[in-house]
Amino acid sequence: IKVEDSFIIGPEELKDIDVFMEEWISFLKDTKGDMAGDLLSDACIYQGGVGRLSETAREVSAKHPVLYEYACQQLLNEKNEIECEKLGLESIGILPEKLVIRGKIADLTAKAAKQLGHASIIKECYEAAFYSESTLNHYLRLFELPDYKDITDRAAKHANALPENSVWEGNNNKQLLVNYLSKEHKKVIRFFSGEFDYIFEDCKKDKTELGWSSQFKGIAIPLFILLLNQNRRLTKAGQRLIDGIEYRLGFKEDDIKSFTDSFFSWKEKVILTNEQYEKYAKWLEKEVDKRTEAVVGGGHRKSYYKAAVLIAALGEALESNGKPYGRMTAIEYYKKMYSRKSAFRAEFEMLNEK
């Protein structure tokens, strides 16, 4: 409910609304929590628009940094990119780097800077966004910058040093959430920073063939398959791998929209040696074979599609690197091996391109 909605309830016009609102704002300034921050933002807009909201954000930045975010979003909505950029940069300089909300504000500021064509500020905001909210998409975005190599190397080291558990001041104060990365997400960043051999050796220690849904190998194997594939276009099997990665990493809707494009843009900058390709390809063939035997040979019907996707996607990757009929050969091999598993064989039909 908005503030103005509460003032139109009842038969008579309320008196001294301004006095009440100022007292209400004063009270909310000293009250902790996300709800207080939301109510304070609403009250400021009611009393003096985005100008009052920006002014109050400066006063209570330590307790309610969310006001900076709301003010920047409001300025963007009003197409006032100049003021949004100015306020965003101000808040980035004031708020502690460890706060996730600083990253969200940097995102909004970057949008304003893009509209204004301010390349140096876009760079500053991209870096600030990652250092405060170290998501994979924020990391991949750094590869768009001209001097991305040093920037992404430094950023990966920063990510690896982050705490692995979430911390904020009370369950109702998420605006003070501190940046963190799970062990799994740290490994993903290391993969995209080019530490392929590290991830390869780490995965080799994991001998599991079932339960990949909760193991890092369930992310790493699809990533390696997609890395080896030289094609720019995603097939149905490739898209299923991407979908699985997005699900495992807990991507939100906005993340999903940009991940595929960011992934292909990143891959254009990756150089693998022939030795690396051969090593990863042989390992993947063995892993996919063991996975298929465990899933299909073990009669886990609900997971047949997972094995089929891996087989088709790996075959496509090998074919893209010069293996004749790589996809068809791989599929036919496993169809013949499990000729009595009609449900498994049918999964490949779902992956055929129209």
pLDDT in tens, 16-29: 678 888 999 999 99
Sign of the CA dihedral running 269, 274, 280, 286:
positive
Contacts of 282 (CB under 8 A, 6+ apart): none
The mean pLDDT of 212-239, rounded to a whole number, is 92
pLDDT at 142: 97
pLDDT at 8 over 60: no
Average pLDDT, the chain: 91
Q: Are 269 and 148 in contact (CB under 8 A)?
A: yes
The average pLDDT across 258-280 equals: 92
- Predicted TM-score of the model (pTM): 0.90
Q: What share of the chain has pLDDT > 70, as a percent?
A: 93
Q: What is the CA angle 129-182-154, rounded to 5?
A: 45
Residues 6+ apart with CB under 8 A from 215: 206, 208
- 31-87 pLDDT, tens digit each: 999 999 999 999 999 999 999 999 999 999 999 999 999 999 999 999 999 999 999
